[in-house]
Structure 1
C-alpha cells in the first residue's frame, strides 16, 4: 500500500512539475502576444513610425530566439526565465519610449498598413502557440521550435522596415515566411505528441 501511495505521489509531482513549466512557457508567449499587440496599436494610432516598429520587431526577434534556446531541452530554468523576463522588460520599455518620443507615423500609408498586417499576423501566431501550450497540444520543446520561427519572421519584418518603408515585394516575402510558420504551428499542434 505504501509503495502505491509513493508511486501516486511521484506521478502527481511529475504532472505538477510539467504543468508549472508549461505555465511558464505560456506566460512568456502571452507576453510576446501583448508586446506585439502594443506595436500594432502604436502603428495604428501613429505613435510608432514604420522604422520604429521595425527596430522593435528586431528586439522581439532576440527575445523569441532566447525563448527558443531556453526551451530547446523542454524546460525553462529559473535563470532562463529571469533572463527572458529581463529582455521582455527592455522591449516593453523600448515600446513605451518610442511611443512617447514625439515621432509620428502615418497609419494610413501603404507602408504602415503593410507593417500593421504583418504585426497582426505575429499576434495571431503567438496566440496560436500560447493556446497550444495551454491545451497540451504543444510541448514546451515544440513551442521553443515555433518561437525560433517567430524570431525569423520578426527579423524579416525588422529588415524590411529598416529604411522606414515596407514595399509590396518585401511584404510578399514576409507573408510567404508567415505562411510557412502558420503551417508549422498547425502541424505541431496536430501531431500525436502531447504534453
Structure 2
C-alpha cells in the first residue's frame, strides 16, 4: 500500500509543479496604444497649423513621417506579415520609437523660427485635409478601443491612412496646396471613410489587448 501511495504521490508531483508554474505571458497586440497616439499626433499638427506655428510645408513634412508610421503599423498588424497573429513587444517598441521621433519633430517644427499664416488659402486647405485625416484616425482608434476592428482590418486601414498622409505630404511639399490637389485628396478620403465604416460594422470582433 505504501508503494502505491508513493507512486501516486510521485505521479501527482509534476502536475502540481505545472499548476504552480506561471503561465507564459500572452502576446500583447499594443494596437490600442499606437492608434490612440496616431490621433494625438494628428491633433498636434492640426493645432500647429491653426495657430500659425506650422507652415504648409512643415505640416507636409510631418505628414510624411506619419505615413511612415502607418506603414510600419500596417506591417506588424497584418496576420500574414511580420506580426503574425499579433504585435510583439519588440515590434511595439520599434513603433513607439518612431512615434517618439515624430513627436519630437512636431515639437521642433512648432517652436522653430518659421511661422505660417493660418488664414492663407493654402493653410486652410491643409488644415481641412489634416482635420479629415485626424477624423479617420479617430474612427480607427475608436474601432480598436471598442473591439470592432480586427488586427487584419487595422492593417488594411493603416495602409490606407499611410496613402492619405503621403498624398498630403506630396501636395504641400512646395508650400502650397492647390484646389485640384485638395479635390484628389478628398476623393481618396471619401473612399477610405467608407472602408472604415464597413470594417467597423461587418460584425468581426478583435480579441486580445
Question: TM-score under structure 1 normalisation?
Answer: 0.88
Matched, 1:119 2:130: yes
Rg larger in structure: 2
Q: When you count helix as a share of all residues, which structure comes out higher?
A: 1
Residues of 2 paired with 1:160 and 1:143: CA distance?
Answer: 25
Residues of 2 paired with 1:137 and 1:192: CA distance?
Answer: 7
Residues of 2 paired with 1:69 and 1:52: CA distance?
Answer: 27
Counterpart of 1:27 (choices 29, 33, 49) is 33
1:144, CA displacement in angstroms? Answer: 1.4
Structure 2 gaps, min length 5: 1-22, 80-84
Matched, 1:85 2:96: yes
Counterpart residue number, 1:3: none
Counterpart residue number, 1:156: 167
Residues of 2 paired with 1:123 and 1:83: CA distance?
Answer: 23
Give the root-mean-square deviation of aligned CA atoms: 1.7
Counterpart residue number, 1:67: 73
Q: How many residues align?
A: 180
Residues of 2 paired with 1:120 and 1:191: CA distance?
Answer: 26
Structure 1 gaps, min length 5: 1-12
Residues of 2 paired with 1:187 and 1:17: CA distance?
Answer: 29
Once superposed, which parts of structure 1, at least 4 consecutive aligned residues long, lie more than 6 Å away? none
Matched, 1:187 2:187: no
1:123, CA displacement in angstroms? Answer: 1.1
